[in-house]
Structures are given as C-alpha cells and as structure tokens.
Chain A
Amino acid sequence: MVPSTAIAASSYAVERATLRNGLRVVIAPDRSSPVVGVAVYYDVGIRSEPAGRTGFAHLFEHLMFQGSVSLGKMEHIRYVQSSGGSLNGSTRLDYTNYYEALPSNALERALFLEADRMRAPALTEDNLANQLDVVKEEIRVNVLNQPYGGFPWLTLPPVLFETFPNAHNGYGGFEDLESATVEDASDFFDHYYAPGNAVLAIAGDLDADQAMTLVRRHFGDVPKRDVPPRPDFEEPAPTSERRAEHHDALAPAPAIALGWRVPDPDDLDAYLPHALLASVLSAGDASRLRRRLVQDDRSATDIGAHLAFMEDAFDVRHPTAMIIEAHHGADIPADRVVAAVDEELDRIATDGVPDDELARIRARTASAMLQRADHVLARTLAMASYEQQRGRAELVGEMPALLAEVTGEQVSAAAASLRPDSRARLDVIADGAR
C-alpha cells in the first residue's frame, strides 16, 4: 500500500440542466476575473466520417464559422472579437467543439451566437468552395510542406488500427474533400448537430441562475431532432507486432513511433494507471525514458510518451492508444531505440515504481492540472468534454485526487501490458537527409 499524500485541488461547483430539446448544459461560476468561457461540444468527430468522405468532419467545422440564420459571412467572428473575445473550434476523433473566451459582459451575445449556428449554419456553395481552399492550405502548411508533417497522429493510426473509422486520415484526402457537396454538409448537420447531441459549458464570471435563464432564452427554441446512436468503434487489438515505414522527403533525420492499445478510457480504474505511466516514462528530465535514452545512452535526441493521438488523455473515447515517439540520429539504428524502450518498460513491470517516484509524479500532475484549470477557457473545455464523455463536469476539479489513488502496482501492470507483440511500430525514413 502506498500512503496517499495530500493532493492540492480546486473544486468548482457545477449547475446542470437538460433542455427540452435535449441540449445538456453545465455552468460553473468563478468570479476571480471578469472573463467567461463558452463551449459547445458536438458528439461527432473524425471517426464518424463515412468512407469516401475523409476530412469531412473538419471541413464541416470550418463551415460553422461562415454565418448562420442571423449572421452574414465573418459576422460571427466579428461579433466575438469586437466584444473583446477570442474564439476557435477543433475537430477530434470523437467530438467537434466551438468555443470562445470573452469579457463577462459579452456572455449573452456569445450564447446567442452559438445558438444561431446550432439553429442553422449558412451552408452555401460559395462558403464550401472557399473553405475547401482554406482547408487545403491548412493541410499543406501542417502536413504536406512540413517535415514530420502528421507524425505520428496521421501516420501511426493506420498501422495500429484496421477499421476505417479508427485508421483513416482525419485531415482527409484532397479527392475526398473536393467531392464534398452542400447536400453532404446539410445531411451531416441534420444528422449530427442536433441539440440533443451537444453539450454547452459555461464557466467564469457569471451568476449561475442568470446564465441558465440566458441559455434557455437563446437555446430553448432550437428544434429538437433525433439523436443518432453513437457507434461502437471497437476492433480487435493486434496479436503480433504491426510495422510500417513512412518516407518523409522533407525530414532531415529519422524518427520512430510506437503505439499500443490501452483500456477503455471510460473505465477509469483500468485507464488511469496508463496516464500515470506516461508521466513516469517521459514527463521532465527525471523521467525514465528521458534519463535512459536522452541523457545516458544518447540514443534519442527527444522522446515523449502520451495517451491519445490528437486529444489529451481525458477527452478521447475507446479505442485509443499509448504512444511513444522519438527522434534519433541517422547513425542510431531504430532497433536500438526500441530495445531501450522495451527494457525500461520491463524494468517498471518487474521492479515496480518506488513510492518516492510516484509521489513526485502525483504532485507534478496535480499542479499541471491546476494550472490548466486556472485558464477559464481550458476549464470550460474540460468541463464540456467530461460532461459529454463521462457525464461528470466536476471531474475538472476531481481528477488530481483520482490520479493520486493509482498505486505503483497498477502502474507496473500498465507497463507490463505494453508488449512488443501487441504494438504498432512506424519508422520515419528521412529522405530529406543529405
């Protein structure tokens, strides 16, 4: 038994309601600064794209900024920014989110703007053609014209997974993107953007009752629509090592990524040890992999371990992965990097994790979570995703204490599950090296 030390925490009281149209609402006041965060999470992401429509969830996210019932092109953005706010959206495997942080006197305006596009975004030929061009430039700047572009979030999933939802390229192929139509967009909206398929989170400088009144005023009459059942994306885990090579014409040196399936994130008892293991492996200069490969062996110039391909550990659904990625010199065989990783995993599995090591990892993890929660928008986003995926926005304050209950034995067992014969391995071949 590991004695549980006191863990620093902040708690946020959460008010919640479900509107008659099915929209779930969570509100958490915090009057320490005169700012608010507003986020809408739709329960649809890259995994729900149909074959032949890769990249569509992300393209659609762009269309949600192009205007709506009461707002012309650019007006949504201008109303947020001219209120002193900032805004963005993102598309992930399991959700698509839209969010803004604003001075608190703009709360009602922000709610209006989100409700207006939940009612009906401006899905037109012009907007689609324009945003198709913008998305292509986004893909060029982040992937096609970039060394290590898409490594490993686009290049490792097709090695680890076999089914289309889990394996396909979430940015999309240009051919698929170009074949998208306004009708596709309209169908996608009707199917997935029902209020009952969304969570609205609000946090910061507000009165909970007043905020709930404003939510009902602006979202209450968004028509109710059917909510699609969420598909089960489970597929069998690898039973032998799966390998692939990726030739990167722009990369000056090789890199490698390893991926393993991990327990369903919904099962926190089984999943949290993996979150702590990722920190034991690579958080800071005192971590196992950085000490062994970067400082002692000098076999890697950089190495990192994390859960989930494009999200953080706690806003992804099953199936997901533990990923270890390393950059190494051309004179170091990738097998040497992999062998050192395997040895370190074995050491944790065999010898366990000393209490002292576990205590410092817990302390750092708790403070990193507190620091994120200090940011009103980061807190709002975490509340929305916890509410959507786990029905408990309060986890934004509770997670450090839950992580503190994980024992060294559980972390050892997590390390033992990352076996060579159940992993995916991707070698980046540096064709850009002179």
Chain B
Amino acid sequence: MSPTRRPAKPREIPGLTRPRQPRLPSVAERTLPNGLRVVAVRRASVPLVQLRLRIPTAVRREGDLARMLLLQRSMMLGTAERSQGELAEALQHLGGSLRVYADADGLTMAGDSLAPELGSLLGLAAEVLTSSSYPRAGVEREADRFADGLRRALSQPGVLADEAWRGRAFGAHPYGRDLPSPDEVLEVPASSMRAAHRRRVGPDGALLVLVGDLRPTRALDQVERAWAGWTSGGTGSHVPALPTLEPGPLVLVDRPGAVQSNLRLGGPAPRRSEASYPAAEIANALFGGYFSSRLVTNIREDKGYTYSPYSVINNAAGGSWLTVAADVATEVTAPALLETSYELGRMASLPPSADEVAATAQYLVGSIALSTATQSGLADTLLDLLTDGQDVSWLREHPQRLAAVTPEQVHEASVPMLGPAGLVSAVVGDAEVVEGPLSALGAVVRG
C-alpha cells in the first residue's frame, strides 16, 4: 500500500554562503648536508604524523623496471638489526606503518605513526634506508609473489588496455609500460638488490615531507639527527622527455568472449609549470574528469553504455599526458567510441559555455580544499607539488588561476589535448565481434 502522496512543489535551490579560505600551511624547510630536502608542516587535527619520501631514480634501460619494482618490494624485508617480522613489529608498536612504492620516475616511501613516536618512526625509516638487508630467500620469495601478482594483474582487461595504450603511445620510452612481465621479474638476481639499493636509494636530490601533530623546527632537527648517516647513492636520475605522440590506427587487442570492451584514448597534455595548465585542467574535467562532465552525461547517463568513464591528466617527470577510459558493453563498442570521439571533437571545435567553465573551475578549486583537509592528503599533495617543481604557494595561487580561465582558453587548450586527430587509441575486446564495427569508424590494427 502506498500512502497518497501530494505532489510536492519545486523549491528554490539555496545559494552558497561566503567561503572560508583554507589556511595555508606554514612550512619549515631545511636541506641537509647529504642533499636531502626536508619540509615539515604542522597540522594537528589528529595526534598522528605522516611521512613521505620521494627519491628520484629513473627507469632508463631494458630490465630496469623489473629490478626497480623488485627492489621496492624487497626493501622492507629486514635491516642490519632486524628481521622482516621484527621490523614490522617495531612499526606496529609506534601505531605506525612504512610502505614503499615505485614507478618509472623513482621510489616513494610513505609512513605514519602516533605523533609522540615521530622520532622512532624516523629512526626505523633511516634504518631501512641505510641498512636494508635483502636476505636472499626473502627476495626470491618476493619475486615469486610479485610474478604471481603480475599474472593476476595481467588477467584484468583494464590493465591490459592500459598497457596496450602505453605501448602504442610511448613505445620504447620508460613510460611505454607500467608493469614488467613475470619472467623478467624472475630473472632478476636476488644478489643484485644490495648494489641496486646503494646506487638508487640516495638522499641527494630526494625530498622528505612531514605533516601532522608536530613542531616543524623540532621535526627538522629530529630528521637531521636520525638521517645524517644516510649518504649512499648517486644523485637522482630522470627519464628522457616524452616522445611526440604519433597518432595512427586504433590498436585492437583480442580477448575472445569478453562481455565488455576496454577503450583507451589519449594525447599530450601541458606540464603543471606551463601557462596553459589551468585551462587544460578545466578542459579535461569538463570533458570527462568528473561526474558532471560531457562524457559521463553522454555515454553513461544518456546512453547507458558504461558505468564509470573518465579522463585524467597524468603528471610525471618526463612529461604530462591525458588518458580517456571507458569500459563498455561489447555490443556498443563502436557506438561508444563514436560518442566519445564526438565529445572530444566538440571540445576541440567549439569553446564551452561560460557556465560550464565556471562550474568546472569551482569543482577543481573545491577538490584542492578537500584533498588538503587531512594530514595524509596534505602530505601527498605537498610531495606531488614539490616533486614537480612547484612550491606551497601553489595551493593559494592555483585556485585564482583556475577561476580566471576563459572559455576561449579552454578551447585553445583542448585542440592539442583532446582533438581526435592527435590521439592514440587502443581497445581490448572480443575482436571477432567488435573489429568490423570499429573498422567502419577508422583504421584498426591488431595489437
């Protein structure tokens, strides 16, 4: 039984009240004699501290990717003083954790602990940086586990599509792949890890960010005491600049029987330091970078072809690029590509409306406020900005830059970044079903 419902009348949507500006964090900074740059920020919202360390050490040659990722996975297997288990226990006692990540540009160590334990957390991190032991059996075990994880990752269609797109877009450049093959990992000698650590894990050119319930100057002193003995490694290394993208036929990777196709398109994007970056950010978001975007409105909310289409600007040391992704039902693969191309073409051909630009700019400004509202978010954001050559004033100035962008500037930024003629495309799907319809839209080659 439904109760009788009187149709309610539409009401006026409340406006926004006066915004309260985020307080810019005050930053204490010091460069240690070993070349490490240290930045400490007080944010006492909860009694914790966050640690982020970025070491620029690039993938440059064949085999480097597998070696670097195995190094990353093996770094916490023990130190001169502690086994893997003892190291993990010591971290837990601090209410802490310490993890290592790697990509083609370098290594990131991320940790946290209860606020009074900052000194101990720094001590354990220093122990890992200066005396990680890489026990042979442990490294071999990690190689096996990593190979197993890669087999699982490479059975995911979305991962296959990302790799196909990277390979087509960047070729032999280190960004041409995100994952090594299981065999490459298993070929890395366990005995090579200590030398790789000495060569790659050095302080010169590295950046340490500390955020949390701490006293910044005291935290800098603590780092200086605990990390003075970290002197290994050469100066940081960097990947070559990204090659110019060469558009060409769509690459189709066959996945027989797949019930969905994974579409990936992408093109060059400006770097954060370029004047066109704020306009490019708005162009990306307005096209496909948030739920209100044209791409989501079209292929999800109007056509129902897909669940979570998106576009994103990737910023890396060697350059920036844009990726568009949509996982769509097999039977609508070509129509989904057509609509995506239409929305891309519209961005490259006509300026968006002033309302769309203003709404998108406001979204991006709000995203900055939200992502820097936590200790861990602020630590991640600062690490990202400072690694990319910006400084903390970016948090204050970038919202103003976004708010000043005009529709014409968005259009100008869209032409090279979103214009379909300049993009590289890859699709993973059931080739028997989708190759014909895709070929009707443009040239297709099998990948």
Contacts and interface: CB of A to CB of B under 8 A. Distances in A.
Interface string A274-309: 000000000111100001001100100110000000
B329 A137 contact: yes
A370 B48 contact: yes
Interface in A406-424: none
Interface string A8-37: 101000000000000000000010111100
A104 interface: yes
Contacts of B20: 34, 103-105, 205
Q: Interface centre among A134, A138, A376, by most B CB within 10 Å?
A: A134
Interface stretch (A72-80, A262-270, A333-341, A345-353): A72-80
Contact of B155 (A87, A252, A284): A252
Contacts of B13: 70-71, 79, 109, 112-113
A363 B152 contact: no
Interface residues of A, number: 90
A281 to B, nearest CB: 14
Interface string A352-384: 000000011101101100110111100000000
A286 B86 CA distance: 7
A374 B376 contact: yes
B85 A286 contact: yes
Interface residues of B, number: 89
Contact of A298 (B85, B144, B367): B144
B92 A360 contact: yes
Contacts of A146: 156-157
A325 interface: no
Contacts of A134: 300-301, 304, 306-307
A286 B88 contact: yes
A186 interface: yes
A258 interface: no
B16 A83 contact: yes
A78 B85 contact: no
Contacts of B21: 34
Given A112-B13, A116-B11, A86 B367 contact: yes
B353 interface: no
B309 to A, nearest CB: 10
Contacts of A105: 16-20
Contacts of B61: none
Nearest to A34: B20
Contacts of A136: 329
A327 B113 CA distance: 30
A84 interface: yes
B8 A109 contact: no
A137 B16 contact: no
B259 interface: yes
Given A83-B16, A361-B92, A101 B370 contact: yes
A52 interface: no
Interface in B149-181: 149, 151-152, 155-158
A295 B86 CA distance: 13
Contacts of B373: 33-35, 375-376
B46 interface: yes
A190 B1 CA distance: 9
Interface string B1-22: 0110101111111111111111
Interface in B103-134: 112-115
A4 interface: no
A181 B441 CA distance: 37
B362 interface: yes
A33 B369 contact: yes
Nearest to A113: B13
Contact of B48 (A102, A141, A284, A371): A371
Interface of B: 2-3, 5, 7-22, 43-48, 76, 84-85, 87-89, 91-97, 112-115, 138, 141, 144-145, 148-149, 151-152, 155-158, 258-260, 290-292, 297, 300-308, 327-329, 358-360, 362-363, 365-367, 369-370, 372-377
Q: Which 9 pairs from chain A and chain B are nearest by CB?
A: A84-B366, A133-B304, A367-B95, A82-B359, A286-B88, A360-B92, A285-B88, A33-B373, A363-B95
Given A137-B260, A226-B3, A371-B375, 11 more contacts: A74-B297, A84-B363, A86-B367, A119-B8, A146-B156, A186-B2, A250-B155, A252-B155, A253-B151, A359-B93, A375-B377
5 contacts: A70-B13, A108-B17, A140-B307, A366-B114, A374-B46
Interface of A: 8, 10, 30, 32-35, 69-71, 73-74, 77-79, 81-87, 101-109, 112-113, 116, 119-120, 129-138, 140-141, 144-148, 186-187, 190, 205, 223, 225-226, 250-253, 283-286, 291, 294-295, 298, 301-302, 327, 329, 359-361, 363-364, 366-367, 370-371, 373-376, 432
